[in-house]
């Protein structure tokens, strides 16, 4: 779901939450017995690896439903990890940045005509161009596969793995003061009011 939050329907917002958050809850509940909550099953406990995103730590404009779902997934994973202590089941988050997959070609297909009369239209087009560029220079999917494998097999896994094509930019976005990052994004996308 891409577009200004104030101009997206609540149904579109709900759909994103259903897919990225409620879907994870449904799958986690279904598989919990197999990873170790069923005392009848023997063997070492399994692990749950949830795929989040850099968007789970940094909300960009025009992808509020996605960011909300990934921020929520981060919190859900942390709570679930603490609940699973009872069985020794690890709950791990993998938060990749842009990954070179066909999803980026979908950005070209996003219909922005509903927003053409919106004050956000120019900024939305700038963000779309930026996202297409990110996809071109994204991580190879195999890098993410390697991190997921490590999360599943490491003797002492981290609780969260971040993997981005540009770790420095990710660090800056997470560690600079939020108001400064707001201005940087606003300037880049043309969202700052004229002085």
Catalytic residues: 66
Other beta carbons within 10 Å of 98: 20
Between CA 47 and CA 74 the distance in angstroms is 16
CA-to-CA dists, residue 97 to 79, 122, 139, 156, angstroms: 23, 24, 8, 23
Q: Which residues fall within 8 angstroms of residue 173, CB to CB, at 6 or more apart?
A: 54, 58, 181
CA-to-CA dists, residue 102 to 14, 76, 135, 141, angstroms: 24, 28, 9, 11
């Amino acid at each position: 779901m891409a577009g200004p939050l104030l101009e997206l329907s609540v149904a579109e917002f709900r759909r994103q939450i259903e897919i990225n958050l409620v879907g994870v809850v449904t799958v986690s509940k279904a598989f919990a017995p197999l990873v170790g909550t069923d005392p009848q099953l023997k063997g070492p406990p399994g692990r749950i690896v949830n795929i989040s995103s850099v968007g789970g730590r940094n909300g960009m404009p025009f992808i509020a439903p996605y960011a909300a779902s990934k921020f929520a997934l981060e919190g859900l994973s942390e709570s679930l990890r603490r609940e699973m202590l009872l069985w020794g089941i690890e709950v791990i988050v993998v938060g990749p940045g842009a990954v070179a997959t066909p999803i980026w070609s979908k950005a070209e297909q996003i219909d922005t005509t509903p927003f053409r009369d919106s004050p956000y239209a120019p900024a939305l087009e700038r963000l779309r161009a930026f996202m297409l560029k990110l996809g071109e220079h994204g991580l190879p999917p195999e890098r993410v596969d390697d991190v997921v494998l490590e999360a599943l097999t490491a003797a002492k896994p981290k609780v969260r793995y971040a993997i981005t094509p540009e770790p420095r930019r990710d660090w800056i976005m997470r560690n600079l003061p939020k108001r400064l990052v707001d201005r940087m994004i606003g300037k880049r996308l043309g969202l700052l009011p004229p002085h």
